[in-house]
Structure 1
Amino acid sequence: MDKSKEINGAADRGQELLAIHVKNAHTRLSDFLDQYGTGLDVLGKAMGAFTKAVYDLPESAACASGCAWCCHLRVETSIPELLVIYRELLTGSTPEGIASLKKWTREAASLGDLRDEDLWYQHKLPCPFLDNNKVCLIYPVRPFACRAHHSMDAALCQKGYEEGRRLMIPSLPLYRASTDIYSTIFIKVMAVRGFASFPVGFIKGLAMLLEEPTLTEAWLNGKDVFSPARIIKGDSRE
């Protein structure tokens, strides 16, 4: 068999399996919410179930503990993920820790729009959950975008960070897609249920919650309160 045909055939089969995976996950979430409602506890359990379904990062990836070049990029997430992670922060952090996080987000926001991807490149902003040892402090509940992001060439990641610009980072498309889908599924399923559901900047949304904690209840009650954090495809904040 011609090698290119073999590769294309494997890619097509991968896409077919991914489509089935997406459909099944969409159905499971819809059925789960139909049965238990759309409260924060339920969304947390759904996120936990999705997290357990994520495949392990392939050994061929260059990512390793302490490699944190990608932890200086804007992260996009669904609103359910944002709310679940924020609740975990409140549960596991001290008042001093929350105050320090609020201070960080205010200082970062003073540099510009936290949704702007270029802002993160230009100022080399580190994620506020990256500690001095380059370890993620919210690793067990990190957004699906963080789980999906990986590289086959850490040197290119470092180059992009040092030069403050986007580079084409080689990765495994199917792994990335099969992990990123959970955020997309959250967005689509909640939108069908009438919620204001769209991708948001993770740190921008978190900054909003730190300033106004009642936004969680407002959103769960159907109000469109996270529009200021919305990532709009195709504009300067894509």
Structure 2
Amino acid sequence: MTVSRDNSPSDFFRATSHAFGETIGSRRGRPELVALLCAQAFDGFTQNVAIQAEGEPALACHGECAACCRLRVTATAPEIFLLARFVSVNAAAFAERGVMLLKRIADADQAIGGLSEAQRMSAQYACPLIEGDLCIAYKVRPLACRGHAAFDKALCVAAARGEAVETPVSATHLFVRSIVQNALMAALRRAGLAWGLYEVNGALNCALSAPDALEQWISGQDPLARAQIADFDLVEAGALFDAVGA
């Protein structure tokens, strides 16, 4: 779903949510639903950011820097299950290289899974998917990661070290990420699927620990509930979605 600069945010939101709803309706109950929704979300984000950010300064983010990968990351259930599939498929190959992904994720969940955003930043605990300053799951990274884009790498690195500096980030990326993510959640809510926001480490550990977690989610249960972030109000978000007709 690509929109022009002339579309209002509410128009963008409703159109995007409707498109997600069509995908859910056509693939309801099938395991491929997760990959299709994520591809739709990621493509929609990329295409619309390119339109909305036209004429803005060049970004400093190109995938080779992990400075921001100590922030708390939240994601929707489809994004979590996509990451879980990536880890499951590649865990053995990474283990042969000494990268124990499953243990890293479990350790991260225990160490920082329940921390607030500010506490996570203070902990300076790198994402378990970072290896050699690179994200090994970069192609399937969540919208939250895609939407955090800085204009100055040096300032971003300094902020990650805990220095009191202002880090200029792209408001356009944050805005488009928010619209796409909320549109996806609204569509999941209408379909009766778990639609909250989850802390990635904890939710990923939940998904990997239960062999039938995806099947549970597809059936309308929430196997990731333990990792829901406390500061996301489902009632308030649902009321907002209803108010804008999504």
In the TM superposition, what whole-angstrom CA distance separates every residue of 1:78-131 from its partner, at most 9, and x where no partner exists? 011111221232223327649922211332334343443234322311111111
Cα contact 1:73–1:117 (8 A) shared by 2? yes
TM superposition shift of 1:29: 1.2
Instruction: Write out aligned runs for 1:143-158 (5 A).
Output: 143-158=142-157
1:26 aligned partner = 17
Matching residue within 154, 171, 178 for 1:173: 171
For 2:180, give the aligned amino acid: Y
1:45 aligns with 2:36: yes
Offset of residue 189 of structure 1: 1.0
Q: What TM-score, normalized to structure 1?
A: 0.80
1:66 touches 1:135 (CA, 8 Å); kept in 2? yes
User: 2:123 maps to which residue?
Assistant: 123
- TM-score between both structures, scaled by the size of structure 2: 0.77
Mean alpha-carbon deviation: is it higher for 208-217 or for 189-198? 208-217
- Classify the secondary structure of the residue corresponding to 1:88: helix
Tell me, yes or no, if the aligned pair for 1:81 and 1:183 is still in contact at 8 Å. no
Runs (4 or more) in structure 1 with deviation over 6 Å come to none
Opposite residue 38 of structure 2, the aligned amino acid is M
Q: CA RMSD in A?
A: 2.8
Aligned residue-pair number:
221
What percent of counterpart residues are identical?
20
Letter in 2 for 1:139: Y
Is contact 1:62–1:154 with CA below 8 Å preserved after alignment? yes
Q: What is aligned with 2:183?
A: 185
Shift of 1:198: 0.3
* Distance of aligned partners of 1:112 and 1:44 in 2 relative to their CA distance in 1, 3 Å threshold: closer
Q: Deviations over 1:9-36 (max 9, x none)?
A: xxxx958444332222111111222223
d(CA) in 1 for partners of 2:145, 2:41: 14
Structure 2: 5+ residue runs without aligned partners? 234-246
SS in 2 for 1:177: helix
* Secondary structure in structure 2 of the residue aligned to 1:23: helix
Q: Distance in 2 between matches of 1:47 and 1:67?
A: 23
CA contact (8 A) 2:41 2:184 kept: no
Alignment of 1:11-160 (within 5 A): 16-53=7-44, 54-55=46-47, 56=50, 60-94=58-92, 97=95, 100-132=100-132, 134-160=133-159
Q: Which runs of 5+ in 1 are unaligned?
A: 1-12
Q: Tell me, yes or no, if structure 1 residue 225 matches structure 2 residue 223.
A: yes
